[in-house]
Structure 1
Amino acid sequence: MGLIGQLLGVLFGSGRNVVTETAEVFRVNAEAQAQRGAEAQAAALAQMAGEFRIRRRGWFDRLMDALNRVPRPAMALGTLGMFVAAMVDPVWFAARMAGIALVPEPLWWLLAAIVSFYFGARHQAKGQDFQRDLAVTMAAVPQVVQTVKDVEALRNATPDADAPVETATFEVPSDNPALADWRLTAS
């Protein structure tokens, strides 16, 4: 072995790459860093999917969800109904409002707390449902990306059968002696 072969054997021999190992002291290996990042993201998605696993819901859960949908529309429609009642029968409406004026203040505070907790709990439940749906969507991203790549690959894979085929023609200089000799031996 020559001097250059021995030098290359020292640098790259026995399955090692001294140049790469030395460079990695000063700069992060981009491929290894990308691999670690992909593994961390996959682990985070797996954890999130585990936390928000969709469970089968029974009839009682469905009934409670249906009842939870009633208060907001009832309050909105009730408020609109009060405006209609005030216009249709002002005396009847004034009697009802006089009765509401007799409700003690602590009862109003209790009603405010109940409504606040109801809407706060509903907001929390809807937020968790959103997070669960987001985890399912994020878990499907790699499959969608692969499908898009496969479809994009099909774009140029099959040429149009009706398109004319063009052949490349070019002028070969005849004053090249090597080319002239090759032509003689090839034919």
Structure 2
Amino acid sequence: MGMIERIFGFVFGSSSSALRDTVEVFRENAEAGAGRSAEIQKQAMSQLGAEFAMPRLGWFDRFMDGLNRLPRPALALGTLGLFVSAMVHPLWFAERMQGIALVPEPLWWLLGVIVSFYFGARHQVKAQDFQRDIAASMIRVPQMIENVQALEKMRFVNGPVAQTGHDAALETASLAPQENPALIAWQAARR
């Protein structure tokens, strides 16, 4: 037993904290890490509190605070509105997207820079990819129009009606109720 004890003492040291010190070389001390994290959180909260410590007295300060909070919700709700309008009225949406496809590329770059600056860490490439995606969607518009027209032809309006063309008498005869032989036989069997 003494030999093993000496080997462990040589590798890890003879004191009780030597093992902890050796392990902390390979793994962070969780308690000390939590203390550092709490201190960082405390400093961040005190900095945030100091920012709002001055009362906003003027109407301009209140107006600017409200204005600074508008773009993110407006963009989020506007994007959701685009999805809803695409489902509710696809032709109207396609017409608007056709107009967006005509926006010149430098204007997209400018919009990308403004949005990137406002939201931070956004890249110019995303705006250009967005424009390419819109152009790719616009290519599918004729197929979408054909699909909508095909769906409109399948719409159930007044029930199944025979294709009578312009013959009014044939149309009237096709809509007149007729006797159902199966129903008559079933009613006779029940009596």
What TM-score do you get using the length of structure 2 for normalisation?
A: 0.35
What TM-score do you get using the length of structure 1 for normalisation?
A: 0.35
Q: Which has the higher contact order (CA 8 A, sep 6+)?
A: 1
